[in-house]
Amino acid sequence: MNVLVIGSGGREHAIVHKMKQDGIKKIYCAPGNAGIEELAACVPIKSDDVRGLVDFALEKKIYLTIVGPELSLQAGIVDAFTERGLTIFGPTRQAAMLETSKSFAKKLLKKYGIPTPQFEVFDTSADAIDYAGTISYPAVIKADGIAAGKGVIIAEDSSQAIAAIKDIMDNRVFGDAGKVVLIEEFMEGAESSYFVLSNERGFLPLGSARDYKRLRDHDDGPNTGGMGSISPSDKLTPELEEKVVKKIVYPLMEALEKEGIVYRGVLYAGLMIVDDEPYVLEFNARFGDPETQALLPRVEGEMVGILTDSAKGRMFSDRLSLRQDVSVCVVMASKGYPASPQTDNVIEGLKDAIGKDIFIFHAGTRNEKGIIKTAGGRVLGVTALGESMKAAREKAYRAIGSIVFEGSQFRSDIGL
């Protein structure tokens, strides 16, 4: 059996690592990174080069392709693979609109009474600006499309809201993602991520995680792609998890069925918990990064069969069980990240960091004649499992202590 994983980040390294644990003989990754290279054959095809990826999968007779990034989904990779009879884990372009169009997702939630903050949708900046003058603050301004995690702005007053609307809609700082804007009620509470595997036959709960979006300790500094994660989420008690399944996942599955949308793949709900009630902030149509780096090391047993069931629209043949241990993933980022990351610095000490239940997932790295160098903003996701958060944290931060590259930055409060 052979598997192709699409993407080049820490999430994809965690997926490749899991496939290796599952005993997959031949793993390919497009395009991969220096860490993935140790486990898989990396091929230099970009994640959104749909045609190149289809041709490659056909040539290598790939049994299962697993999609990492949302850009590949938006480019229609699942539709293209399916047309050619290839098995691929992920939603079609239409189903992925749960992530790629926030207005589509929010209207669906509203129609089916699934809890989510109040919102309005605008397709002209003039209308959005008029509305911004009538609401209370803080309020949330969101670009409709995908904007590398940067398209959500919390406005403290109407002048900030208007500036955000102009940036998104008139100046198109996020390109076409800003054709439409949502203005949403601000909710204060505890954020968590919840993952299920899905297809038209049902769903399989995968578990929870929490990511740390800001650059610096105590949620200070600019937003990033994620500076760390923990799994399970400390904010999602088993009772709350039951509520999430009952009030969000089941109704969503019914809504998708009624709308005639077949959703195969992983569905990741970004939740806000307020007064012990979960609300959907957003959906993502793929595994989270860096949540996956914390979540997947907890999965016991084989995963490839379950992913194949989801991709083929079969009844899930197995359940997923997770280790009781908690997991902590601390991201090491380059100097200057997120604004202007410095790259090409040598990374030392990777081998010294390895230990039992410690996983060094690479993101922005490259191998230059055997020397591992930084090649992006987020460089490594140093993950450790432990019986308690304290134990997992100690292991992760001990591993980080061995790894050196110029200007590295990481938060010291992941899991605290």
Instruction: Give residue number: closest CB to ligand GLY.
Output: 288
Please state whether 35 falls in left (phi above 0), alpha (psi between -120 and 50) or beta. Answer: alpha
Q: Is 99 in the site for ligand GLY (CB under 6 A)?
A: no
Q: Which residue, 127 or 191, is less far from ligand GLY as judged by CB?
A: 191
Q: Which residues of 263-287 are buried (b: 16+ CB within 10 A; e: fewer)?
A: bbbbbbbbbbbeeeebbbbbbbbbb
| Distance in Å, CB of 410 to ligand GLY, minimum | 16
Quickly count helices (H) and strands (E) in the chain: 14, 23
185 or 191, CB closer to ligand GLY? 191
Is the separation of the CB atoms in 238 and 208 below 8 Å?
A: no
The residue with tokens 């989420």 is 233
Rounded-to-integer distance, Cα 284 and Cα 111, Å: 19
| Contact assessment for residue 29 and residue 42, using Cβ atoms and an 8 Å cutoff | yes
Query: How near is the Cβ of 113 to ligand GLY at its closest, in Å?
Result: 26
Indicate the residue among 37 and 211 with the shorter CB distance to ligand GLY: 211
The reply to whether 284 sits near ligand GLY by the rule CB under 6 A is yes
Q: By CB under 6 A, which span of 17-25, 109-117, 283-291, 365-373 interacts with ligand GLY?
A: 283-291
The 188-227 contact track toward ligand GLY, x by CB under 6 A, reads -----------------------x--------------x-
Residue of 222, 229, 107 lying closest to 154 (CA atoms): 222
Closer by beta carbon to ligand GLY, 80 or else 338? 338
Among 288, 297, 377, 415, binds ligand GLY (CB under 6 A): 288
Minimum Å gap between C-beta 362 and ligand GLY is 17
- State the minimum distance, in angstroms, from the CB of residue 291 to ligand GLY: 6
Taking the CA atoms of 156, 162, 168 and 172 in sequence, report the sign of the dihedral they define.
negative
Window 100 to 159, contacts with ligand GLY (CB under 6 A): 149
289 is a site residue for ligand GLY (CB under 6 A) = yes
Task: Check if the beta carbon of residue 294 is closer than 8 Å to that of residue 230.
Answer: yes
Cβ–Cβ contacts within 10 Å for residue 405, how many?
21
The C-alpha atoms of residue 42 and residue 34 are separated, in whole angstroms, by 9
| Shortest Å distance, C-beta 226 to ligand GLY | 4
Q: Is 10 in the site for ligand GLY (CB under 6 A)?
A: no
Instruction: Name the residues that contact ligand GLY, by CB under 6 A.
Output: 149, 211, 226, 284, 288-289, 291
